[in-house]
Structure 1
């Protein structure tokens, strides 16, 4: 297979950029993160694997190797890394195997020039050292991938040294598997220690064919340079960030609970004041604050000031007729009716139109039903009480102006009968109302 590394690089780079686009569509961040980086390294190349297997030479030597890579970090735990490594692999049979056996192969030594190796690997950050730090200084990782290696073995047989494949660079598939540790020196620079075992899909790396697959390892140290602005995504700890967000949410919830408790206390105070305002000890329909004749016997018909009527109220036998003019008086009163925010206290601007309603009730002896309504802000119980209190407040005012309390019915419905949506401010304003019904 005579593929060159230049044929492999475009495919690998395309994989990196496609993965970057997919990550951008699924990952958001509150601050910019450095996700691209480049690295350079140097170390030792050795034509064997400590993971086991059969070695073709009894004395494998360590030689200088160097490399560079480009990496794209997709999440704090996963990245793709494109590596290129060059160097030399050497070995001979000048010493016996560790078992004491002597290698009697006709090939006594080899010298392989690793012209190139290009691999694309998936890198997994195994864990953050401190789960409560949003950004760590040490990261352990493991990697695995695939790629191509091109090499030229030179072998020694007896006293003759020759090229294994004259004028030819052998290209073979390799499978790299590695581990490493990375130390963050700054937001832009990391110190990288790594070790990779490369499994070759062939048995000609050392110029000796024995029916197995060759392998070599590369132990290195180097520097990684993070590109862009912001913190490094590889050292970002989402667990700690989530923990901090949870603490902030808890503090916000505690603050909201304090506000809610204060509002509940204020509502209780308002309810007490309203009960005092509407308190009717003798049950004649006139509040104590407006009752000029306290302690009237039960069942006594009283006037608007709470005093017994000297003449029994006339019985209305004729048909009650409500005219358009009557309805306009009531409509004006509804339109101009306003209360203090969150209370049942009637504002003074509403008095004029309410006075006309009181005069109408006395003039035509109408009966009146008052129905209080609220929007859905607040609890059901609070809204029901407020609507009832507002209807009673209107009744108390009309009675204070001379209307017959026995002909006025005040009822509260809370938020149960909206006439508009509660999802907008305008709709909630329409739902906060007191309806007047003449009959």
Structure 2
């Protein structure tokens, strides 16, 4: 594969990925809350082995006459830092160093170095290999789980490698050798101007695949394979008659550590469609949905009732305080004849209403309270009576906090009743805090009963 073509393709892919990632992130910010709700930085360490062969084929400087799985290996290691931009794309800086070894299984007198000698093996020392890589997560969404535990990924990047090859006469790295360390440069003048040139520096393109396993909320196991295409024919020495650039592969295992606040989720493992499963996964939410469906049904029935006017006086039965008015009678807004005294307001019996209970440290209404609240709303609208909503709390926590919590609970009940059509002037809110328990605060059963709102005349 032509190196120039690879370089252009990788550069275009990185630019396009950054643009698409920006668009996706804008959508994520709108729908899911943006990257600020996640941990997006990670650091990793890795180690493994190099081989002078790559999966896509091609030859190395020594003819590649050794089988792929017979190729000699050497140690290689490094670190990386990654910024995750979305659930499927991130940018990663990799820094590695180590050695690469290659040899031919047979002597090859036809392959000569520029000094006129023949060589059968070479070992290249890599001082550093630094690259910027796009990381594409290929299996971010798991439709069976809310959060992934295994991620497949691919990488492509561009970097700079500094290396020094030493060629040997024998295939095991022994015998007469050629070593250009300290003399790299186009000419003696270049070397003099640039100082000691122990390593040759060239651009390279890393392309890889990998698999990550989530070990904990902070740590992941990283297994990967990277093919490195170097922009030179001298990675293993200045061998004559080379027609293709050199390449090598790196197989590694490593650990990745997520950085950031503990309470945030790691974006690497976030499933952007997880919210689609909430109704299937959470029984409590299913109950809430069913309660809301019943509430909608009740509202539809109320709308039907509001449109019914049995006596035809222009006031619906729901609000008609003088039903069965004779046809043609002029009525006021209550459906009663003009100058006809309104009937006295009925008294509301509060003894039949059960207290509205709340969870610990919560002022959110339970769906189980809706039926009682709907009955209270109906009675208050019919009677026009005024009542007091007394909020209460159990004895856990500071008294001042419990005082405010009891007020919040009473206001939650008031808001529900007002939304159901009760005039706000008919409702008075009082917060007792923990001062008026209905049961002993010494037991959990008693404390549960004390988290309530009571209806008082």
Q: TM (normalized to structure 2)?
A: 0.53
CA contact (8 A) 1:89 1:113 kept: yes
The aligned residue for residue 134 of structure 2 is 122
Indicate yes or no: 2:266 matched with 1:255. no
From the CA coordinates, give the structure whose radius of gyration is larger.
Answer: 1
Cα distance between partner residues in 2 of 1:63 and 1:199: 18
Displacement of 1:49 after TM fit?
1.4
Query: CA separation of 1:224/1:400 partners in 2, compared to 1, >3 Å: closer, same or farther?
Result: closer
Asked whether the equivalents of residues 92 and 132 of structure 2 are also in contact (C-alpha less than 8 Å), the reply is yes
Q: Aligned pair 1:56/2:61, yes or no?
A: yes
Please list every run of 5 or more consecutive structure 1 residues that lacks an aligned counterpart in the other structure.
Answer: 1-11, 97-101, 281-338, 347-367, 371-388, 402-424, 430-439
Deviation, structure 1 residue 265? 3.6
Q: How many residue pairs align between the two structures?
A: 284
Structure 2 contact 72–102 (Cα < 8 Å) conserved = yes
1:206–1:369 CA distance, 2 compared to 1 (3 A): farther
Counterpart Cα distance in 1 of 2:317 and 2:166: 95
Q: Per-residue displacement from partner, 1:209-261 (whole Å, max 9, x unpaired)?
A: 41310001000001000001222111111122234279889876653342232
Q: Which residue of structure 1 aligns with residue 96 of structure 2?
A: 85
Q: Please tell me whether residue 216 in structure 1 is matched to residue 248 in structure 2.
A: yes
- Counterpart in 2 of 1:142? 154
Say if 1:268 and 1:76 are closer, same or farther in 2 by CA, change over 3 A.
closer
The 1-side partners of 2:109 and 2:145 are apart by 54
1:1-12 matches, cutoff 5 A:
none
Inter-CA distance 47–341: structure 2 relative to 1 (3 Å threshold)? farther
The 1-side partners of 2:182 and 2:299 are apart by 91
Q: Residues 11-90 of structure 1: matches in 2 within 5 Å?
A: 27=29, 28-29=33-34, 32-57=37-62, 58-59=65-66, 60-90=71-101
Q: Secondary structure at the match of 1:220?
A: strand
Contact 2:106 2:120 in 1 (8 A): no
2:236 to 206, 222, 246: 206
- How big is the shift at 1:341? 11
Deviates more, 1:104-113 or 1:198-207: 104-113
Answering whether residue 219 of structure 2 is matched by residue 189 of structure 1, we say yes
Aligned mate of 1:239, from 263, 273, 298:
273
Question: What do the CA deviations read for 1:346-404 (whole angstroms, capped 9, x no partner)?
Answer: 7xxxxxxxxxxxxxxxxxxxxx997xxxxxxxxxxxxxxxxxx865824x344789xxx
Distance 1:267 1:24, change over 3 A: closer
Aligned equivalents of 2:166, 2:252: Cα separation in 1 = 25
Deviation at 1:343, TM superposition (A): 1.2
Secondary structure of the structure 2 residue equivalent to 1:258: helix
Tell me, in whole angstroms, the C-alpha distance in 1 between the residues paired with 2:318 and 2:51: 82
CA 1:163–1:183: 2 relative to 1, 3 Å: same
Q: For residue 193 of structure 1, give the secondary structure of its aligned residue in structure 2.
A: strand
Gaps of 5+ in 2: 1-13, 112-117, 184-196, 323-327, 343-417, 423-457
Cα displacement string for residues 330-356 of structure 1 (whole angstroms, at most 9, x for unaligned residues): xxxxxxxxx99961327xxxxxxxxxx
